[in-house]
Amino acid sequence: MPYFPTRRAILFGIPVLVLATGVAAGFFSRSVPSDLDLAMSKATASGLYLAALAPVTEPVTVGPMHSWTVSLTDAAGAPIEAASISVDGGMPQHGHGLPTAPAVTRSIGKGQFLIEGMKFNMSGWWVIDLSIDSAAGADTVTFNLML
């Protein structure tokens, strides 16, 4: 028997479709905030740490793999020597994550840690999220980057 959508299905389907389209459009066309914080050094979300992110080699370009350092101190400015740091990120406007799985590979002393395996495969607005855990507690920080 062929399927004919009932009036009820159509009445239900249209708002769902409109809603889904609206959500998708809102998600993918989200514009870059005019007040986007491009600071590479900032306090973490709950204020437990001060984190500074820096590329090992500049300029940072689209394409190649590169390394970064993150410098970590507690809120009073004392270097954090041992921490577990995970790296995530992506492009908020495109709804995708990082093309690679960068990771902190080692501590390089004085509260500095090496992040290897970072790559950006498109130009535009990227976010880099760090989740930090140490004896001082767990906290997160998000850096914005325009490429």
Residues forming contacts to Cu ion in the complex (CB under 5 A) are 91, 94, 122
What letter does residue 16 receive in the DSSP assignment?
H
Nearer to Cu ion, 96 or 106 (CB): 96
- The full 3-state SS of 81-132, as one line of letters, equals CCCEEEEEEEECCCCEECCCCCEEEEEEECCEEEEEEECCCCCCEEEEEEEE
**Least distance to Cu ion, CB of residue 122, Å:** 4
Distance, in Å, from the CA atom of 71 to the CA atom of 49, rounded to the nearest integer, reads: 10
**Least distance to Cu ion, CB of residue 145, Å:** 12
Nearer to Cu ion, 90 or 117 (CB): 90
Nearer to Cu ion, 22 or 97 (CB): 97
Residue nearest to Cu ion (CB): 94
Nearer to Cu ion, 72 or 91 (CB): 91
**Least distance to Cu ion, CB of residue 27, Å:** 12
Name residue 99's amino acid.
Answer: P
Distance, in Å, from the CA atom of 74 to the CA atom of 134, rounded to the nearest integer, reads: 10
The structure tokens 């908020």 sit at: 92
**Least distance to Cu ion, CB of residue 136, Å:** 34
